[in-house]
């Protein structure tokens, strides 16, 4: 704030004031629902997850194998050249451990969040997932992990067809 200014605008209110109705509020809820077309690349990716496999696309020019798959190579700006299966194992690129749920309440069991660089894809091609079957204090960078899949009849074609990754 400029030292020349003595008064600065703004009136604070407290959350108790709002809860107790001392501050006039208007409530509304959006009616906003979407059904996104997955498109060519992700439709195939999701269908393959249902089959218990992870699929990637390849670009011959920069020689990358990319997951999540895409129909365009964003580095070369050209269509990707083909599809290839990659493994459902990988290494931990980075991880964090959440003690807070989405609504800001505390979790009894922490969630271990990981970025797993997938084996068979180019280096650093990670996906976001969670990890289980390990004490969070024992997780390490570079640790080898493997996907634990839902049983076939429970898979719907979603990233959660992989339940979590576990240490190898």
Is position 108 an interface residue for other proteins (rule: CB under 8 A)?
A: no
Contact 167, 132 (CB under 8 A): no
| From candidates 47, 51, 60, 98, binder to other proteins by CB under 8 A | 98
| Calpha distance 91→114 (Å, rounded) | 10
Contact 116, 92 (CB under 8 A): yes
Question: Least CB distance from residue 141 to other proteins, whole Å?
Answer: 5
Is position 13 an interface residue for other proteins (rule: CB under 8 A)?
A: yes
Question: Least CB distance from residue 152 to other proteins, whole Å?
Answer: 19
| From candidates 51, 94, 132, 152, binder to other proteins by CB under 8 A | 94
Q: List the interface residues with other proteins, window 44-63 (CB under 8 A).
A: 45-46
Question: Residue 88 gets which letter from DSSP?
Answer: S
- Is 155 strand, coil or helix? coil
């Amino acid at each position: 704030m400029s030292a020349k200014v003595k008064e600065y605008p703004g009136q604070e209110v407290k959350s108790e004031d709002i809860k107790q109705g001392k501050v006039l509020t208007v409530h509304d809820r959006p009616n906003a629902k979407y059904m996104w077309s997955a498109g060519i690349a992700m439709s195939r990716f999701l269908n393959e997850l249902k089959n218990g496999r992870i699929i990637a696309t390849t670009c011959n020019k920069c020689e990358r194998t990319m997951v999540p798959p895409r129909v365009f190579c964003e580095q070369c700006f050209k269509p990707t050249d083909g599809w290839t299966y990659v493994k459902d194992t990988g290494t931990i690129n980075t991880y964090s451990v959440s003690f807070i749920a989405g609504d800001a309440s505390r979790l009894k069991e922490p969630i271990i969040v990981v970025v797993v660089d997938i084996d068979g894809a180019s280096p650093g091609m990670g996906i976001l997932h969670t990890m289980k079957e390990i004490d969070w204090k024992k997780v390490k960078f570079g640790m080898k992990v493997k996907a634990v899949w839902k049983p076939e009849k429970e898979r719907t074609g979603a990233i959660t067809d992989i339940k979590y990754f576990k240490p190898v």
